[in-house]
Amino acid sequence: MKKNTILAASAVALIGLGLVACSSAPEESSAAAASGDAAATCPDGKIRFGILPYEDPERLEPAYQVLAEALSEKLDCPVEVSITEDYAAEVLAMENDQLEIAQFGPLGFVFASQRADATAMVSFGDADGKPTTYTGGIWVPKDSDIQTLEDLKGRTLALGSPGSTSGDALPMSALVDAGIDGDVQWDYAGGHPEALLALVNGTVDAAQINSQTLATATGEGTFDQAEFRQVWESDEIPNDPITVRGNLPREFQDAVKEALLSLDADAVEQVSGFLGVDPAGPLIPVTDDTYRPLFDLAKTMGLTEEDV
């Protein structure tokens, strides 16, 4: 088995635990947050919102600024967007009390729950206010002789990033179930878009491409589905949760959840687009139990925080 983590920085090397911070609140919110009246919903004068780097940060940042600004207005407190260096950095940041709220991938949430007592609050609903899901997949060129998962034996496969639900754990679980995990030359490409690009450029025989990345790349014209085939697809995965750190006061946790649930759909539609939700709806309530299958997957595969 080959496990070469590309572009993954160690926790020791992360500057500020890998956070790239961007303030998103108006000055008047900052002034209000400094008052005693805002203390319950504005600890330490701001709320730090962590985002996992599932897309190019330069593309994610504007979308999350819109969501953060809307949340800032609801809570009368500055909301600071922090796109982390990698999945592990986000868990570590919340564990070290450097994030109040954070959006995790479903598997990342498992470890954040265990290490930082992260609690799932909301996720991304469709236009009817119903829960949304996505799927993991493995794709090959349309003229490839790879027809099934078993045909990947002896071939090269691009995965996304360590700790990714659809870009690591689920495709690896499928290889293990097929009994070929030791016979596939798999590498991390550095993210979902990078894995797709490796397939498009012909540098690998196959690549993991989840339905979210597929929708984005197809819409932008960077991936032509007619030129490729999907040879494996996962079961449906519940969309990412936005979580709150468990050691914060209950009053704060309740206020943030209420504010998130009251946001208009247009405040989250840009983010929802990255998550394959179109048309976008409002955020919807979720609980830790929503992600129970991912807790079960981590236990079955013997995954720990070292795998993130």
Residue 30: the pLDDT is 40
Distance CA 297, CA 279 (A): 30
Element (H, E) at 259: helix 250-261
DSSP 3-state of 206: strand
β-pair type (206-208, 156-159): parallel
Distance CA 293, CA 241 (A): 14
Given pLDDT bands bounded at 50, 70 and 90, which one contains residue 304?
A: confident
Residue 284: the pLDDT is 98
The answer to whether the CB of 110 falls within 8 A of the CB of 294 is yes
Residue 38: the pLDDT is 55
pLDDT above 70 (res 5): no
Kindly report, residue by residue over 72-94, the tens digit of the pLDDT.
999 999 999 999 998 889 999 99
Q: How many CB atoms lie within 10 A of CB 122?
A: 24
Mean pLDDT over 155-170 rounds to 95
- The phi and psi torsions of 137 (rounded to 5 degrees) equal -155, 160
How far, in Å, are 40, 51, 177, 188, 251 from residue 74 at the CA level?
Answer: 13, 20, 47, 39, 15
More confident residue, 301 or 70: 70
How far, in Å, are 10, 124, 127, 232 from residue 133 at the CA level?
Answer: 31, 9, 13, 17
| Angle 61-101-57 from CA coordinates, rounded to 5° | 20
Residue 7: the pLDDT is 30
Distance CA 87, CA 163 (A): 6
Residue 8: the pLDDT is 32
Kindly report, residue by residue over 30-64, the tens digit of the pLDDT.
443 344 445 688 988 999 999 999 998 999 999 99
Element (H, E) at 80: strand 79-84
Kindly report, residue by residue over 226-278, the tens digit of the pLDDT.
999 999 999 999 999 999 999 999 999 999 999 999 999 999 999 999 999 99
Distance CA 119, CA 108 (A): 12
Of the candidates 219, 235, 236, 218, the residue with the CA atom closest to the CA atom of residue 227: 218
How far, in Å, are 112, 230, 275, 286, 303 from residue 239 at the CA level?
Answer: 16, 21, 7, 10, 20
Of the candidates 208, 246, 200, 238, the residue with the CA atom closest to the CA atom of residue 95: 246
